[in-house]
Structures are given as structure tokens and as C-alpha cells.
Structure 1
Amino acid sequence: MMNLGELRLRSRIIGLAQEPAAKVALAGVATVVVAPIILPLLKPALKAGLKTGVVLFEKTKAAIAETGEMIADIAAEARAEALAEARVPLGLTASAPGSEVTPALNATSPEEEHRLV
């Protein structure tokens, strides 16, 4: 048999459970109470997850740096080829990107010009 005090308490609890602010407060209190119990149990899993994240971050950073270097190399090669192509109409060719410019096939060398004279 319930007395009048117990009925009032029960109706108050039911009324608080229906209010959104009370639900938030209850969740906060439950978190404060449960966190010290659960965190030590979850620490190894959290540590492993963070370790994996750090490793992935470092690998991604290295891959991005390597990609940047490759793009810089490709741009340098393209620039060298463009300069070589620009010199061809002047009678000069480049045998390879970054190499010295040599006379074109139809141009004569100074030794050949000396023999012709």
C-alpha cells in the first residue's frame, strides 16, 4: 500500500522525465557517475585508435610530400622541354632536358665552316 507522499514523489519523477531539460540534466549526471568506471576499461581501445590515427596521419603527410615532389619534377621537365622547343627554330636542339644545347643537324660546326673556306 502506497501512502500519499510516495504517490506525489512518483508523479514528480514522471513529470521530470517528460521535460527535455530534465533529460539533459539526467544524462549529464549519469555521465559524471559512469565515466570514471568506463574510461579505464576503454583506455586501451582509445589509445589504439589514437595510435592508428597518428600513423595514418604521418603516412598521408609523407605521401602528400612525395606527390608534391613528383609534380615539381614534372613541371621542371615540362619547362625544360618547352625551352628546348623554343630554341629549335633558332637552329639549336637539346638532346635531353637539362643537357647542354647542341647545334641542329642542318647547322655547321665551326670546324666545318673553316674547312669550307
Structure 2
Amino acid sequence: MNQGDIGLRERIAQLSANPNARAVAIGVATVALTPVILPLMKPVLKTTIKSGVSLYEKTKGAIAETGESLADIVAEAKAEAQAEAQQKAAFPPASNPAQPPSTEG
């Protein structure tokens, strides 16, 4: 490929138009900048992870409390239903006296 007398800006523009060259440039920049950026980002990443773990623990506790509350409500509802059933069995409803046939039409 004959490059001729093109300037640096034109060559960079040609390379940036090529997706493969762009991917290689991003990869090289990432490898070159990682040792510089990683120590700067470590405290931020550490704080973010600590916050995530804390939020997970709080959420886990809240879900456990909600489960216990729902279990208590279910147990209370079952006990009330059973008490009502026993009360109905102990006191059967009185028989209704026979109603005279209706003459309405």
C-alpha cells in the first residue's frame, strides 16, 4: 500500500475509519492505562462493593422479616378459621320452621 505524502492527521483519520484498527487502538490503550487507572479506581470500587454487600444484607433481613410476618398472618388466619369451624360444629343452627308456600306470583 502506497502511503505517499499524506499527513499524520489524514493517516489517523484513515485508521479511525477502520473498525479493526479502532479495536486494536482501544485494546492497546486499555493495556497501557490499566496500571495507572486501577490504583486510582480501587477505593471507588471497594466502596461500591461494600455498599452492595451492605445493601444485600439489609435486603436479605427485610425479606426474612416479611416472610415471618406473612407466616404469622397465615397462622392467625388458620387458627381463626379453625375456631369458627369448631364454634359452628358446637352450636348447629336452629331448624327453620316450615314456611307457608308463597302466594306471590
TM over 0.5: yes
In structure 1, stretches of 5+ residues that fail to align are 93-117
Q: CA RMSD in A?
A: 2.2
Partner of residue 21, structure 2: 22
Letter in 2 for 1:37: V
**TM-score, normalised to structure 2's length?**
0.74
1:7-86 matched pairs, under 5 angstroms: 7-8=5-6, 10=8, 11-86=10-85
Counterpart position of 1:109:
none
Higher relative contact order (CA 8 A, sep 6+): 1
Match of 1:7, SS? coil
Amino acid at match of 1:51: K
* Offset at residue 16 of structure 1 (A): 1.6
Single out whichever of 79-88 and 15-24 deviates more from structure 2: 15-24
Q: Quote the offset at 1:9 in angstroms.
A: 7.2
Q: Which residue of 1 aligns with 2:94?
A: none
**Greater displacement, 19-28 / 67-76:** 19-28
Q: How many pairs were matched up?
A: 89
State the SS of the aligned residue for 2:5. Answer: helix
Gaps of 5+ in 2: 92-105
Give the AA of the match of 1:66. E
Instruction: State the distance in 1 between where 2:16 and 2:50 align.
Output: 40
SS at match of 2:27: helix
Shift of 1:24: 1.6
Write the letter of the residue equivalent to 1:23: R
More strand by share: 1
| Cα shift at 1:85 | 0.9
